[in-house]
Amino acid sequence: MKALLGKPVSVLSVFISLLLLGLVASRHIPILPLPDVEIPEISVYLHNKQFSAVELEETMTGLLRGTLGQMADVNEVESETKDGAAVIHIKFRHGTGMHHAFIDVNEKIDLFMSRFPANTERPRVVRASLTDIPVLFINMQLKGQGNEQQDVGGLVRLGELATETIKKRLEQLHEVALVDVTGVEYPEVRIIPDTATMMAIGIRPEQFVAVLEQQHISMGSALVKDGIFQYVLSFSSAGLNTVEDIRNIKFSWRDRIYKMDDVAEVSIRQKEREGGYFIGNAAGINLAVFQHDKARIGDLKAVVNTAIEQFSKDYPQVAFTVTRDQTALLDASINNLMQDLVFGGILAYFILFFFIRNWRIPILIGVTIPSALIISLLLFYIIGLSINIISLSGLVLGLGLMIDNAIIVIDNIVQKCMDGMPFGKACLYGTAGMIRPMISSAFATVSVFIPLIFMGGISGALFYDEAIAITLGIAASLLIAVILLPTLFIMFERSILKGGLMEQRVREDGPLTKIYEAGIHWVFKHKLITMLLVLVVLGTGYGLLSILRQEQLPQIEQSDLIVNIDWNENITFDENVSRVQALIGGYLKTTTRIESYIGEQQFILSREKEQSPAACGIYLIGMRGAGLEKVKADIARQLQYRYPHAIFSVRAPASIFEQIFDESAYPLVAHLAAAENGVFPDPAMAGQILQDWRRRLGDQQVMPVPVTLNKELILDTEKLLLYHVTAESIYRQLKFMIADNSVFDIKNGNQFLPVTMGGNSGTLDDILRNATVMNEQGLRLPVREMVTIRNRVNFKMIDGGREGKYIKVPLSTSDPERTMALLADSVKDSGMQVTFAGAYFERQELIRNIGVVLLLSVLLLYFILAAQFESMLQPLIVLAELPISIAGAFIMLYVFKSSVNVMSLIGIIVICGIILNDSILKIDTINTLIRKQGMSVIDAIHLGGKMRLHAILMTSMTTTLSVVPFLFGNDLGNTLQRPLSLTVIGGMLFGTFVSLFFIPLIYWWCYRTKA
């Protein structure tokens, strides 16, 4: 230490070099919305349009779910199966190597493909990632397109422009990882056979399809030798590339040549839609832009805006609009956090000036704050940490801790000077005397934050950045406080002494000291009353805990709404569009923009549940305050009145943070399944059980289960035998008349057009009335005489897990324990069983995880303090401050109407790390006075309290004021950190009084025999 202070120029040069490196490194650190965390989840998407939800669950989903659930390190497996599609979510234990898990899942699927029904496409496997969340969306819409009249050809061309040009050009940008597209309209070639002509020439549907397929056979090529040369011999073929080529197809049937135009109508049309994207009432294209994990979010926004400006010039007939821009939200959050950093530093400067009364010393401390931040950024770059909301908030939180070390060193140097020590020696011994307690204090603080890394699930993975950021900030500030700060003091000795250091410092007999002395005397005079007051604080704080609102994340104020609707009816896509347009019609003029995802979407990456053709998601953008609540109530009222069977939710869109935590929308979700040896309930039985639940709980608490009404054809086997008709021939004829049969694809420019064949559209009754089938003798017979139709109600969606398939019933309840008891009792002796999931259990698990982390932190604190004090008792004296400070945090949360959530619980852990620093230094000072100067316990308590009074007040106030800016502003960063700030402020306010008055009393009580 002496050698370093003797070479101030060398020390200053090294630090300037580190600062320059830090500034350069800060330009290369990725700026991301959130930490680049590996999410231990894989999703498997299955598709088979031929199967209903029940059939798909029995033949594919259930079998694959059971196999994947047996993989190593699988924590949970869930599936959702609906008509024609299913998704299986596999959640692994945190820490699982997801690269190998992804390979294992694909291998399992490859082995399973032989057990799937024929012509089943391979399931799509998607590995979850934070980069799966789009940072912004881009809307494309034809200019001048009216809401009432849609240009079908223009929409098809717009989709081609989006997929073939815009998407590819955006993906060429270094900052863009992927562009996902939905709302594209695709063309197809449609062949509608003339049934009368086909009957007249005697060709059956399957024979007609075979004729078409023969016309599109690729001959290939062959390698032939000609002497010493060899050639590739290809067979010339006219090929089918246009609609006109298909119309001119000629084929021979029963010794006659026919032209396709003679027996069928061939045309190009828009492919039948099952989903679409609408801006207002007009169709459009929606592009989701994903950020590259090494890119800076500001750079991404700049290059995308530049690209859009160029697109607008290149394609003036198309309107490009950026919507739901997370970059703007996150940019504002990061800017506000930076402003909070500056504001906190300014407040800290005035606090220091108030106590030290020398404007030069606070300026030196002000130099150490940005220096510590820059060196922290250098360490960020070295270990590969990104700048994001979590890590930046960790730096802001560490701001108070950075100032604390500087204050402690300066206060001790000043005290040495006041004792008559020369300035140079005061800098040396004042700093050296604080190194051991500061290192111990730093270890104590770090020991609290490090266990955050081991917190289970995504919470621990995310807050790894916060723990590391605080640790790096403390390390950098400790380095600066013990090396750079005393060096600067020596270099600017003349200026500091010129400022009248001794005269301008707050006097030992000043008003603060007198108030402290009066307080400590009162405490020691009224020991019993003091203990009772402490017990009252403890009882109040922990009593309020039971009535504080519990949630996973703090509520984030939004200006938008999202309405998710499942109409719970078998409606067509066009009817879905009609209903949505009728619903939003009254809000088009009162909102900035309305975007609707209607029916099935084409996104490849989507963290949200896939929609059916009878579902929709509506975004109402640009509302605030009371208007937002009014619109929510109005939409809910309309849907309940006009569509009583619909299942819907009206809420604020999930922020990027909420999408990661993915908390269940309902406090409880019941899983109704068959008991052992029981029978899975059908819709009628499930309806009776739900009706009983509504009677027990109330109609508003039990959400309906979506069902679907299907038509079932029943063949009359006796008539089939009597008329010599096969069931297969009836199936083929009806499929030919009802369904679109894909024949082949033709290459048209850069794209392939599907060629489909089917009958004219009509009702099912019309089709059955006109359908005929040829028997084995060549006679045509009416199909309606051999079939009957009946209605069949099925579940629209079947959920499943490791325990098998079940019916998911969302429950809206304020008393989960009572609800679970009532519902469990309701299914006794019914052959059914009910299990539960939902937000209630997620919050309970979070609290348990935090509890384990808190216990681990306290144990680490105890052993670190025991090593410092060489005592097993004194760490308990210090730790006695914790329960009181935590109670103060709960009181502060209650006063400001906040909640218990992941951020406030993290704040409690933060309190454990920072509130003990004052007590550690105070007890260290008391021990020194007793051991080295031979003072009595009571005298050492009084003198040690006076010696550390100003340092304790300064560190407490600077730490508190450093988080005060989080209380203002409604951006994502401030909203997330506000509960943490309230817990820190409440803990520091109560903890400071405990450190000043209660800890000395406990110390005296433990060593009163020596007194």
Going from the C-alpha of 356 to that of each of 351, 359, 363, 509, 925, the distances in angstroms are 9, 8, 12, 14, 21
Pick the CATH number of 1-33+329-553+844-1008 from 1.10.260.40, 1.20.1640.10, 1.20.1260.10, 1.20.1250.20: 1.20.1640.10
Helix H or strand E encompassing 141: strand 136-142
pLDDT in tens, 128-155: 776 677 888 999 999 876 544 455 578 8
In this prediction, residue 506 carries a pLDDT of 42
Of these ranges, 178-182, 493-497, 842-846, the one predicted with the greatest mean pLDDT is 178-182
Stronger pLDDT, 565 or 661, i.e. the higher one: 565
List, in sequence order, every residue forming a beta bridge with 322; answer none if it has no partner: 138
DSSP string, 629-646: HHHHHHHHHHHHHH-TT-
Helix H or strand E encompassing 257: strand 256-259
The residue-averaged pLDDT of 555-572 equals 83
Residue 453 has pLDDT above 80, yes or no: no
**Residue 510 DSSP code:** S
Stronger pLDDT, 906 or 276, i.e. the higher one: 276
- In the chain, residues under CATH classification 3.30.70.1430 are 41-128
pLDDT in tens, 38-84: 778 899 999 887 788 888 898 899 999 999 998 988 988 999 998 88
Model pTM score: 0.72
- In the chain, residues under CATH classification 3.30.2090.10 are 188-270
The residue-averaged pLDDT of 19-31 equals 88
In this prediction, residue 659 carries a pLDDT of 64
In this prediction, residue 505 carries a pLDDT of 45
Going from the C-alpha of 732 to that of each of 196, 741, 771, the distances in angstroms are 17, 10, 11
Residue 949 has pLDDT above 50, yes or no: yes
In this prediction, residue 350 carries a pLDDT of 76
Residue 966 has pLDDT above 50, yes or no: yes
3-state secondary structure 685-700: HHHHHHHHHHHHHCHH
Alpha helices (H) in 419-463, listed in sequence order: 423-449, 457-462
Q: Is 935 exposed, middle or buried (0-12, 13-18, 19+ CB in 10 A)?
A: middle
In this prediction, residue 421 carries a pLDDT of 83
**Residue 123 DSSP code:** P
Least confident of 217-221, 863-867, 878-882, 937-941: 217-221
Residue 741 has pLDDT above 90, yes or no: no
Stronger pLDDT, 454 or 135, i.e. the higher one: 135
Least confident of 239-253, 655-669, 682-696, 825-839: 655-669
Both tokens assigned to 867 = 């090593």
- In the chain, residues under CATH classification 3.30.70.1320 are 135-186+271-323+576-651
Alpha helices (H) in 450-570, listed in sequence order: 457-462, 464-479, 485-491, 493-498, 501-504, 511-525, 527-545
Stronger pLDDT, 415 or 926, i.e. the higher one: 926
Architecture of domain 135-186+271-323+576-651 in CATH?
2-Layer Sandwich (3.30)
Query: Which residue spans within 824-879 are E strands per DSSP?
Result: 832-837
The residue-averaged pLDDT of 498-504 equals 51
Residue 760 has pLDDT above 70, yes or no: no
In this prediction, residue 370 carries a pLDDT of 81
The residue-averaged pLDDT of 368-373 equals 81
Residue 413 has pLDDT above 50, yes or no: yes
Residue type for 456, please? Answer: G
In this prediction, residue 149 carries a pLDDT of 46
In this prediction, residue 504 carries a pLDDT of 43
Say if CB 47 and CB 85 are below 8 A apart.
Answer: yes
Stronger pLDDT, 456 or 753, i.e. the higher one: 753
Report the chain's terminal Cα–Cα distance, integer Å. Answer: 37
In this prediction, residue 830 carries a pLDDT of 78
In this prediction, residue 656 carries a pLDDT of 64
Q: Percentage of residues in the chain with pLDDT exceeding 90?
A: 16
User: Nearest CA to 441 among 480, 402, 412, 410?
Assistant: 402
Going from the C-alpha of 885 to that of each of 124, 438, 531, 833, 894, the distances in angstroms are 51, 21, 15, 45, 14
CA dist 708 and 482 (Å) reads 72
In this prediction, residue 986 carries a pLDDT of 92
Of these ranges, 302-306, 491-495, 706-710, the one predicted with the greatest mean pLDDT is 302-306
The residue-averaged pLDDT of 410-432 equals 81
pLDDT in tens, 585-627: 888 888 888 999 999 888 887 655 567 788 999 999 886 555 6
In this prediction, residue 166 carries a pLDDT of 94
Of these ranges, 296-300, 675-679, 799-803, 931-935, the one predicted with the greatest mean pLDDT is 799-803
Per-residue confidence band for 340, with pLDDT thresholds at 50, 70 and 90: low
Stronger pLDDT, 140 or 970, i.e. the higher one: 140
Residue 313 has pLDDT above 90, yes or no: yes
665-706+796-832 domain in CATH 3.30.300?
Answer: no
What is the topology classification, in CATH, of domain 41-128? Alpha-Beta Plaits (3.30.70)
Residue 137, classed as helix, strand or coil, is strand
**Chain-wide mean pLDDT for the chain?**
81
**Look-up of token digits 């304790």:** 952
The residue-averaged pLDDT of 223-243 equals 69
Least confident of 493-497, 730-734, 868-872: 493-497
Stronger pLDDT, 455 or 615, i.e. the higher one: 615
Residue 502 has pLDDT above 70, yes or no: no
Architecture of domain 188-270 in CATH?
2-Layer Sandwich (3.30)
In this prediction, residue 271 carries a pLDDT of 81
In this prediction, residue 102 carries a pLDDT of 92
